[in-house]
Amino acid sequence: MRLQTLFAGAAMILATPAASATLSEAIHADMPQLMTLYRDIHAHPELSMQEVRTPALLAPQMRKLGFDVTEHVGKTGVVAVMRNGPGPVLLIRADMDALPVKEQTGLPFASQVTGKLPDGTVTPVMHACGHDTHVTTWLETARLLSERKDQWSGTLVMILQPGEEMGLGAKAMLDDGLFTRFPKPDTMLAFHDSASLPAGVIGVTSGYALANTDSVSIDVKGVGGHGAYPQNTKDPIVLASRIVVALQTLVSRENDPQQPAVVTVGTFHAGTKQNIIPDDAKLELTVRSYTPETRKLLLDGIARIARGEAIAAGMPDDKMPVVTVADSYTPSTFNTEALSTHLISLFRQHFGDARVVETKPIMAGEDFSRYWLADKTKQSTIFWVGGVPQAKWDAVHGDTLKLPSLHSPFWAPDAEAVISTASEAMTLAALDALKKG
């Protein structure tokens, strides 16, 4: 029944003739149907690379709007192409996956869904990063542009991307021929809702915007034995502790202080009983940076410190720590200066100075980065749209430490403000990028 309701709502969106209205007026008229779609997607989140229902809902609507639609690109991704005469090629991306988080927002349409992680573990699933607002905005932007074909010329490529939360989706779509099977973009755009800006405020970062993200594991070897006779052992807990402490010097003493870097040891597992010295200890790290040079310094330093501390502890060569860097590396996201600077000016002219701010880079990761890295001659920007409800923002005087962050089970953005602002901003940017002449 919910599925039928959603399709009915989507059909109403398509039936709304708004080409002569302003963008704001058109979006306002569509909001009831857009919120129906948003709530449905929020209530039915899907884990990374398992997105089936979401693309099945959106792909038919894109066909009705006149796009040539290809499904199952990069496993579950959607590519929708609209050719509208000569001109540049613009790519607009929305990510659609959710997170293994149990929702605690108390919303009437809160997720009750469970899913399976790659290892088979059953987990609650939630749109705790706001990708449901991204998907809804994606469809509305497509509709607005399809109704305004007389205002732009060129080719519009709109992609619904899987697997952003695992850093797999962009690579999967590129590997599946995104830039060879479909028109290659001159300009690439995306947006992300923000838990650090009040609802409806747009943030743009020029240059590095999001970080390289590496997951590193260190398997620390030891020689176990009785806790009462430590002289007969090589204690991996002590060795791993030395490694944890020494790793902090990578940022504090080896890295240029003007180059941001983070080395966080997130897990430390060892032992089974208080009077047993175990045979090994395991550390798991997240490592963040912006430049390739800083990334190399950190990763090389982790391997060097782990081995050096093991040598200092008297470990033989066959018991050196094993350092593994996960393949699911996400490269840093770079907003090209020409486009990001232009968007700041464009958005301020349209929305006013108070609603557009220049934001600082952050240490989160985003695999939107891979599209620009595939061809650095192109222009690319991902911008933010604030989602913190104004009343909550005012109550804490803008202190984001007192607010739920992205990935929090309590993250409940002002979805109407995010979707309306993002749809207007993205459509405005698209019309500018594809303007005639």
Task: Indicate which residues carry an active-site annotation.
Answer: 97, 164
Q: CA-CA distance, 408 to 326, in Å (whole number)?
A: 24
H helix or E strand, kind and range, residue 215: strand 212-221
| Neighbouring C-beta atoms of residue 25, cutoff 10 Å | 11
- Distance, CA of 361 to CA of 339 (rounded, Å): 16
Strands 187-198 and 333-335: unpaired
Give CA–CA dist 144/136, Å, rounded: 12
Helices (H), 128-201: 131-146, 169-175, 178-181
Sort strands 77-84 and 68-73 into parallel, antiparallel or unpaired.
antiparallel
C-alpha radius of gyration, the chain, whole number: 24
Q: What residues contact residue 46 under an 8 Å CB cut-off, 6+ apart?
A: 52, 53, 54, 96, 97, 98, 113, 115, 125
Cross-strand pairs, 226: 276
Determine the straight-line distance between the first and last CA of the chain, rounded to whole angstroms.
47
Q: Coil, helix or strand for 302? A: helix
Question: How are beta strands 114-116 and 202-204 bridged, if at all?
Answer: unpaired
State the pairing for strand pair 187-198/89-95: parallel
- Tell me the helix, strand and coil percentages in the chain, rounded to 5: 40, 25, 35
Nearest alpha-carbon partner for 247 in 264, 269, 260, 267: 264
Residue 406, C-beta contacts closer than 8 angstroms, at least 6 positions apart: 128, 129, 130, 193, 194, 195, 364
